[in-house]
Amino acid sequence: MDTNTIIYIAVAVVLGLIIGFIIAKSMEKGKASKLISEAELESKSILKQAKSDAEALKKDKILQAKEKFIELKAEHEKVILSRDKKMAEAEKRIRDKESQISNELSKAKKSNQSLEDKLKDYDFRLEFLEKKKEELEKAHKSQIKQLEVISGLSADEAKEQLVESLKEEAKTDAMAYVQDRVEEAKLTAQQEAKKIIINTIQRIGTEEAVDNCVSVFNIESDDVKGRIIGREGRNIRAIEAATGVEIIVDDTPEAIILSCFDSVRREIARLSLHKLVTDGRIHPARIEEVVKKTQKQIEQEIIEVGKRTVIDLGIHGLHPELIKMVGRMKYRSSYGQNLLQHSREVAKLCGVMAAELGLNPKLAKRAGLLHDIGKVPDAEADVETPHAILGMKWAEKYGEKPEVCNAIGAHHDEIEMTTLLSPIIQVCDAISGARPGARRQVLDSYIQRLKDLEAVAFGFNGVKKAYAIQAGRELRVIVESEKVSDDRAASLSFEISQKIQTDMTYPGQVKVTVIRETRAVNIAK
């Protein structure tokens, strides 16, 4: 094949390719135009549909807006109508007020007019009365002159004679009346007073309990006595030293006697022994621990006794310190008579007697209960002050009324009585103490002697505790080991015995025992 042929074939192939490309392009162009026309038709239909939807939406929104406008308009009209209604009601009220005010003004005008007319009438009457008064005075003066001429006395002289005669007559009548009343009062007063006192005593009848100086502690068997005594008597000495109570262990079967003039110490010893015997552990350290716990228990019991007492008597608003003092009365006695029972009885007697006399029974009960609080002093320094004055000071300190304070201070005539309550307290105190079997003079003087014996020991430096035991025949003194040496303990015993011998009167002999104890305590950790 030659070159020309190849060229022709190549040209034919190229032309064929070009013609094929042109035909393909034309065919593709036809398809594209067809697609474009279809897209245009579809877009026109979409636009048409969108326009119709927009028109429908527009109409719907317009309808909703119209409905909302109508609703708002209706609500606005309602508000306007309610405001108009309120304004109409307010205008009506104003018109009513105006009409009422105008009516009241017209009435006031009428009243003023009537008042002015009455004032004019009164002025006229006053002028008329003044004229009449002047005429009467002239007539009276003329009559007095005529009487003076007839009697030969002036008006002032006649008045003086008349007044003097009336005075004498009235004085005579008054003296006769007063004398009759005084005689009647003398006849009936004493009888009425006796009647009131007898009725009061009959209504308040109580059993008398005379305090003793010993308590009996019962035990189950005599074997317990040995455990209480301890080896070489160390347990019984520890109990006596801790409580200040004399423990008497004798041949009395199943009983131990506790002897002490102080009821509190005796009760502490009794309760401590009961705890020790019940527990079974009895040794000096345990004894001291139990005694301390029992002392706290007794202090709490004192407060409870005071609370129960004031509740039973119906006394309210009493200061806590006074309640505590009332509780301490349970462990005090006066001439052998229990102080709390005595004070309760006096309170009841005072309440009944005050009611009979028309006074305040609650205030009388209060004063009756507190009249002897001065007999339970907190400190030794208070013992020197009379108990009535001391009780009055405490009552004033803790806010009691002046009537109560005066009744407490005056029930033994230490101060002047200023209220009717004071003699009632004095009488009821005497009634309670004068009951048969209520008091024993000898016991009170015995207890006072033992207290004075202990007070002598407390007058020396370094003394921590002092107990009068053996019915006052022995004074047991416990000193502080840091302040008192062994040599000083011996001289202290001699000095105390000399002081007792010089200052006190007592039967027999008094043994003075000074105890000095040294303890060394360490704790292992």
Residue 382 has pLDDT above 60, yes or no: no
What mean pLDDT do residues 142-164 have? Answer: 68
Q: Could you tell me if residue 104 is left (phi over 0), alpha (psi between -120 and 50 degrees) or otherwise beta?
A: alpha
Mean pLDDT, residues 350-370: 87
Q: Does 521 score more than 70 pLDDT?
A: yes
Distance CA 479, CA 394 (A): 32
Using an 8 Å Cβ cutoff, are 364 and 353 in contact? yes
Q: Which two tokens stand for residue 119?
A: 């004032």
Q: What's the CATH fold of domain 446-517?
A: GMP Synthetase; Chain A, domain 3 (3.30.300)
336 within 8 A of 407, measured Cβ to Cβ: no
> Structurally, what CATH architecture does the domain formed by 208-299 represent?
2-Layer Sandwich (3.30)
**Per-position b or e across 474-506, b if 16+ CB within 10 A of its CB:** bbbbbbebeebeeebbeebbeebbeebeeeeee
- Identify the band that residue 208 occupies on the pLDDT scale cut at 50, 70 and 90: very low
Q: Which CATH superfamily is domain 314-439 in?
A: Hypothetical protein af1432 (1.10.3210.10)
Question: For position 214, what pLDDT does the model report?
Answer: 65
Predicted local distance difference test score (pLDDT) of residue 204: 59
CA distances from 333 to 180, 458, 497 (A): 49, 22, 28
The confidence band for 209, taking pLDDT boundaries of 50, 70 and 90, is: very low
- The band of 381, judged by pLDDT with boundaries at 50, 70 and 90, is very low
pLDDT surpassing 60 at residue 324: yes
Query: What is the pLDDT confidence band of residue 240, given thresholds at 50, 70 and 90?
Result: confident
* 316, pLDDT greater than 80: yes
What number is the average pLDDT over the span 352-372?
87
Chain segment 393-410, per-residue pLDDT in tens:
988 988 888 898 998 988
Lookup: tokens for 497: 């015995």
Residue 154: pLDDT band (50, 70, 90) is low
For 481-488, the CB contacts below 8 A with 24+ separation are 481/516, 481/517, 481/518, 481/519, 484/514, 484/516, 485/516, 486/516, 488/462
Question: Cα angle at 107 between 102 and 110, to 5 degrees?
Answer: 130
Helix (H, G, I), strand (E, B) or coil at 331: helix
pLDDT at 186: 64
Q: What angle do CA 368, 371, 375 make, to 5 degrees?
A: 140
Q: What's the pLDDT score for residue 378?
A: 63
pLDDT tens figures, 15-55:
878 887 888 777 777 777 778 777 778 878 888 888 888 88
SS3 at position 351:
helix
Give the confidence band of 383 by pLDDT, cuts at 50, 70, 90. Answer: low
